[in-house]
Structure 1
Amino acid sequence: MRIGVVCPYAWDIPGGVQNHVRDLAEHMIRLGHEVSVLAPADDEATLPAYVTHAGRAVPVPYNGSVARVNFGFLSAARVRRWLHDGAFDVLHVHEPSSPSLSMLACWAGSGPIVATFHTANPRSRAMTVAYPILQPTLEKISARIAVSEYARRTLVEHLGGDAVVIPNGVDVGFYERAEPKAEWQTQPGEGGTLAFIGRINESRKGLATLLEAFPEIAAARPGVRLLVLGGGDMEEAAAFLPDSVRGQVEFLGRLSDTDKARLLSSVDVYVAPNLGGESFGIILVEAMSAGAPVLASDLDAFELVLEGGTVGRTFPVGDAHALAKDAIELLGDTVERERLSQAASLAVRRYDWSVVAADLLAVYEMVTTKSESVPRTGGVEALSAGEALES
């Protein structure tokens, strides 16, 4: 099958949607399908062979974060050319409700279109206001996918219709096989090792809550360490910490996927103190796959992944004292950590790409079968409406 996939966000900036699209493409290629991804990027040289460069991205505030997207007349021309050259059996776009390559591809596409919605925001005024503009785009979509029940609810409440829930995929085996790194493991005399992964300066990731809780954790667990992985202003983040514990927090910057997996396999507890805007929680699944017990804020999306607290522990969103209390308990209880690790290792199986890709292929086959002549995606005339809207 010839599959075209559109990634709306900058390929060379780490993010959940980008990682999902990358893993999807590479898994489908391993299964023998022809896959081409269209994505913006600041550095074209970083793109793998299966990605077509759609130009540089520009930052746009979106869902409590800053999305780097590509939109405009030149982008529309690139989309049209990619669709024409690809002659795809199915087009799979991600987040078509935002002004991006995905929306342009929906305007331009003339064959079966599958759309995945990642956003979870029950009070999105932007989506409500944009509904009249989005309606023609939504009508062209052959099948809708939401990455979680929470994302499905957002879609239904704001845009109508419905979607099948297919979660983000994870290469579970990749994380299971990761070798711990001695320097990241708890050493004799230390009080344990915690980890956080996320963009440091993005407030909704909740690092400030974890740093607020850390002195209380350190007082109860002398020698405890916190390892922080992610890009951003490390000095600004460290300003939250009193001098007495600053040396126990190590900012690692950005690491390769291999080192990220090794980090997760090395630590005693992975902490996800996110404040909101999460539709799924892929990092939780990655940590669980690597064997790290998870302590996360009780966001709806996280509660779903952690099965109501049975395969991980949750605390009230933004409550630094509750975070500290749970972290102290987990660091002091090896039996409970092992129980959570074992329970999580079973729970993550349904997120493995072997399962997720099979569900996606079933959707692809459904939409192509429903198309009478399996029309190819693209065509010069298909973009006229999109070009008119952009002018």
Structure 2
Amino acid sequence: MTGRTGLEAVRIQHVLPYDPRQPGGVQTHTYALSRALSDVGHDSTIFAPSRPLRVSLGGTRADLALHPLDALALRRFLRLPHDLLHIQEPLLPAVGPLALLHPSPVPTVVTLHSAEVVAHRFYRWTAPLTRRLMRRADALICASPISHQTAVPAISYEPRIIYPCLDLAAFSAVTRNPEPNTILFVGRDEPRKGLTLLLRAIRQLPQAKLVIAGPVRHSTRQLADGRTTFLGPIPHEEIPLLMKSATCAAFPASGGEALGLVLIESMAAGVPLVASDIPGYRIATNNGDAALLSPPNDPDALAQNLLRLLDDAQLRERLANRGREAANRFDSHVIARQHLDLYQSLVPA
């Protein structure tokens, strides 16, 4: 059978270690990639945990496939007919290593996403084991140059860099109607995401209103005043509506970001950005051309850039146009084509 790309259709199995019901970049990427592959005639299916257990990884909370019943379900999944196996985050202590160790008659591709310091330390401490495990893969992808730097201790050959992807259609279709002086933050309240820094910066902007979409700790809420609205966790499909009304968005992470998918979604929706000047965000914003970048952990610089955006409509329009262009590089169909080139090189004709 031939896919709509004109190439032989491929049956691809994806293994995802995270709970797909929880927000996260790896989940977003995996499902967007799978849909894009299916759109062009390939058979793409995903294994994800049905009984995830919550763990803390370097300050980031994650729901992972650690339950024994998930391991049994994975074995059944891998027995289904397929031409290629693609494992996301194969070195997490979850289903990834089990999938790599499972005897497989088909090529195996793995993608490393993490850019966090704790991951680099883990890879360094376990290098003999992780290098041996990674040799079972036929091809290695890193989700960005930052992920590659993080993973160096765990790998023994150069990876291919293929960025994560997003289904940007709903964001690109947003008709903007921003409310004056409204700043949007979308994300989890983890120390590296910089929400407390943003709340400190907002104190310097008496005209600004802040809208926060995502779970927020009680201690963080105590830092806010009456100009801050806490929406709590928002279903992913409702986020484009939030972006419709934001004057701008702020992403003040201190590090640990391989790319920043929520930045890309915001740019696709035409929302001008202020973000931290960290490597992953530089990549996402086309080396800072599509956003105002502030030094990380500097509330004064963050406040100054937010004030510039709130006060300058022409700057907002210029950044919005550049942002839409920058976001298109990460559209799921663009990135799926890059994956297909790799898959086709591995699957026998």
Same-fold call, TM > 0.5? Answer: yes
1:166 and 2:162 aligned: yes
Which of 58, 62, 67 does residue 53 from structure 2 map onto?
58
Q: Identical aligned pairs, as a percentage?
A: 30
Q: Residue 92 of structure 1 contacts residue 113 of structure 1 at CA under 8 Å; is this kept in 2?
A: yes
- Deviation by residue 1:32-85 (Cα, 9 ceiling, x = unmatched): 2222211113xxxxxxxxxxxxxx11222224312221236544332221111x
Structure 2 distance, partners of 1:99, 1:358, is 30
Q: Using the TM superposition, give the Cα deviation of residue 366 of structure 1 relative to its aligned residue in structure 2, in angstroms.
A: 1.1
Q: Using the TM superposition, give the Cα deviation of residue 136 of structure 1 relative to its aligned residue in structure 2, in angstroms.
A: 3.1
Could you tell me which residue of structure 2 aligns to residue 196 of structure 1?
185
- The number of residues matched between the two structures is 338
SS in 1 for 2:158: coil
SS in 2 for 1:307: coil
Could you tell me which residue of structure 1 aligns to residue 265 of structure 2?
286
Which of 98, 107, 114 does residue 119 from structure 1 map onto?
114
What pairs up with 1:1-391 in 2 under 5 angstroms?
A: 1-41=10-50, 56-71=51-66, 73-84=68-79, 86-110=80-104, 111-121=106-116, 124-180=120-176, 185-186=178-179, 190=180, 192-200=181-189, 202-218=190-206, 222=207, 224-233=208-217, 235-241=218-224, 246-369=225-348
Q: Using the TM superposition, give the Cα deviation of residue 20 of structure 1 relative to its aligned residue in structure 2, in angstroms.
A: 1.0
Unaligned runs of 5+ in 2: 1-9
Deviating beyond 4 angstroms after TM superposition, the runs of 4 or more aligned structure 1 residues are: none
Structure 1 distance, partners of 2:78, 2:248, is 45
Structure 2 distance, partners of 1:16, 1:314, is 21
Letter in 2 for 1:226: L
Structure 2 distance, partners of 1:317, 1:174, is 30
Structure 1 distance, partners of 2:84, 2:242, is 37
Structure 2 distance, partners of 1:172, 1:211, is 29
Q: Using the TM superposition, give the Cα deviation of residue 31 of structure 1 relative to its aligned residue in structure 2, in angstroms.
A: 2.0
Structure 2 distance, partners of 1:225, 1:196, is 11
SS in 2 for 1:251: strand
Structure 2 distance, partners of 1:76, 1:365, is 29
Q: Using the TM superposition, give the Cα deviation of residue 273 of structure 1 relative to its aligned residue in structure 2, in angstroms.
A: 0.8
- Deviation by residue 1:208-239 (Cα, 9 ceiling, x = unmatched): 00001111012xxx2x2111001243x43220
SS in 1 for 2:203: helix
- Deviation by residue 1:240-292 (Cα, 9 ceiling, x = unmatched): 12xxxx22111111223332012123211110011221111111110000000
Q: Using the TM superposition, give the Cα deviation of residue 162 of structure 1 relative to its aligned residue in structure 2, in angstroms.
A: 1.6
Unaligned runs of 5+ in 1: 42-55, 375-391
Shift in alpha-carbon separation, 1:157–1:122, aligned structure 2, 3 A? farther
Structure 2 distance, partners of 1:20, 1:79, is 20
- Deviation by residue 1:312-346 (Cα, 9 ceiling, x = unmatched): 11111111111001101111011111111111111
- Greater fraction helix: 1
Which range moves more in the overlay, 95-104 or 252-261?
252-261
Q: Residue 248 of structure 2 contacts residue 310 of structure 2 at CA under 8 Å; is this kept in 1?
A: yes
Q: Residue 134 of structure 2 contacts residue 154 of structure 2 at CA under 8 Å; is this kept in 1?
A: no
Which has the higher Rg, Structure 1 or Structure 2?
1
Letter in 2 for 1:6: V
SS in 2 for 1:217: coil
Letter in 2 for 1:78: A
Q: Using the TM superposition, give the Cα deviation of residue 158 of structure 1 relative to its aligned residue in structure 2, in angstroms.
A: 4.1
What TM-score comes out, normalization by structure 2 length? 0.92
SS in 1 for 2:78: helix
Structure 1 distance, partners of 2:103, 2:228, is 49
SS in 2 for 1:308: coil
The structure, 1 or 2, with the larger RCO (C-alpha pairs under 8 Å, 6+ apart) is 1
Letter in 1 for 2:139: A
Structure 1 distance, partners of 2:108, 2:155, is 17
Q: Using the TM superposition, give the Cα deviation of residue 164 of structure 1 relative to its aligned residue in structure 2, in angstroms.
A: 1.0
